[in-house]
């Protein structure tokens, strides 16, 4: 999902320019309370203050929730040290939906 979302994100940015503040990705069977999402995003970002919603959703950002990289043949999704040498995966979002800000996209795309 992440790779396809970034591809679509790049397409949106190049096609529609920068006339947005956030992009939000959901699964096709998800419901979004658009009014609540809009209010939450609008509550921040006044006067170019740091925005806590640069990367949001059900995000795993701390080691308490991070996913440990599984090594060895006993694991279905094992990853070798050559492919990924770190002991923990970096922060990521999962679930039915997540969003990114324009600021985040400027760094990522």
When pLDDT is averaged across residues 41-61 and rounded to a whole number, the result is: 67
When pLDDT is averaged across residues 52-74 and rounded to a whole number, the result is: 76
CA distance 105 to 22: 9
When pLDDT is averaged across residues 48-54 and rounded to a whole number, the result is: 61
C-alpha distances in Å from residue 29, one per residue of 49, 56, 95: 34, 19, 12
Tell me which DSSP letter residue 58 carries: E
Size (the chain), residues: 109
| pLDDT greater at residue 2 or residue 79 | 79
Q: Are 61 and 108 in contact (CB under 8 A)?
A: no
Query: How many CB atoms within 10 Å of residue 19?
Result: 6
- pLDDT score, position 85: 95
How many domains does the chain contain in total?
A: 1
- pLDDT score, position 22: 81
Which domain, by its residues, includes 64? 2-108
């Amino acid at each position: 999902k992440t790779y396809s979302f970034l591809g679509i994100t790049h397409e949106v940015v190049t096609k529609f320019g920068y006339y947005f503040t956030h992009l939000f990705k959901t699964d096709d069977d998800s419901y979004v309370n658009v009014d609540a999402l809009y209010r939450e995003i609008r509550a921040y970002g006044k006067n170019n203050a740091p925005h806590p919603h640069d990367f949001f959703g059900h995000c795993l950002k701390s080691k308490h929730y991070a996913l440990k990289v599984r090594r060895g043949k006993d694991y279905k999704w094992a990853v070798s040290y050559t492919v990924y040498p770190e002991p923990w995966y970096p922060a990521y979002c999962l679930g039915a939906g997540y969003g990114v800000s324009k600021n985040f996209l400027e760094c990522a795309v």
